[in-house]
A = this chain, B = another copy of it.
Amino acid sequence: MRFTSEQRHDDGVLERSFTLGDIPGILWTPAAAPAPLILLGHPGGLRAMHPRLSGRAHQAAAAGYASATIELPGSGDRPRSVSADQARADLRAALTAGEPVTDDIIDRLVLPLVDAAVPEWQAALDALLPLPELRGPVGYSGGVISIGVRLAVVEPRVSAALLFAGSFVPRAIFDEARQLTIPLLVLLQWDDEGNDRRMALNLFDALGSTEKTLHANLGGHTGVPAFEGDDGNRFFARHLK
């Protein structure tokens, strides 16, 4: 891992860009160290997502957490995936035609992404956690929910996860969701134009953890109320000891 730039913000947060091999990433650390680390999940495209990720990182820093994120495979400046682009085109065609989105499309769109991304997030943990300003246990916060589920199942360093509800979850991920045991908080935007509410509720139902909470708020995909940031911090405060 190599730090490529750094910026100290007015609230004392140090924001550093890094590369992990050819994967770009960002680390935000609060003044008080060592801080428990929260991995910030997102749908891909770090540059476009930066304002929202940065907002989440500063809100987490105010509660004492460091945050880190990496670019997803096939997004941002990373090499695109021909098969993922094809699956995305098939998805768009089905939605435009008002046809059902088949399991095949969902599997082709999501499963290779999960297969590629999860080991990268684990490699990011390997690189980040030795830093003296960071410590475990680790939280995962955000989407893609299929990545969050897989990572939470296979990675013992992740002790709690705040998952953003999403549609287009492969059946295989439902099966993995049933194996989850860590505490979970799921955020659902009730009127999310891009998400299927019923599928999101079905996935919440399938999650195997005995401590799981759903927070549903009125509004669209990007309309998560600010108070959910505080709720998320309190969720992690209960579980990242």
- Which residues of chain A have a CB within 8 Å of any CB of chain B? 188, 190, 201, 204-205, 209-218, 225, 227, 230-231, 234, 238
Contact = CB atoms under 8 A, between A and B. Distances in A.
A198 to B, nearest CB: 9
A190 to B, nearest CB: 7
Contact of A215 (B214, B218, B230, B234): B214
Nearest to A228: B213
This chain: copies in complex: 2
Contacts of A210: 218
Contacts of A230: 234
Q: Most chain-B Cβ atoms within 10 A of its Cβ — which of A204, A216, A225, A238?
A: A216
A213 B204 contact: no
22 contacts: A188-B214, A190-B204, A190-B205, A190-B212, A190-B214, A201-B201, A209-B218, A211-B218, A212-B217, A212-B218, A213-B215, A213-B216, A213-B217, A213-B218, A213-B225, A214-B214, A214-B215, A214-B216, A214-B217, A216-B216, A227-B234, A230-B234
A185 to B, nearest CB: 10
A201 B190 CA distance: 11
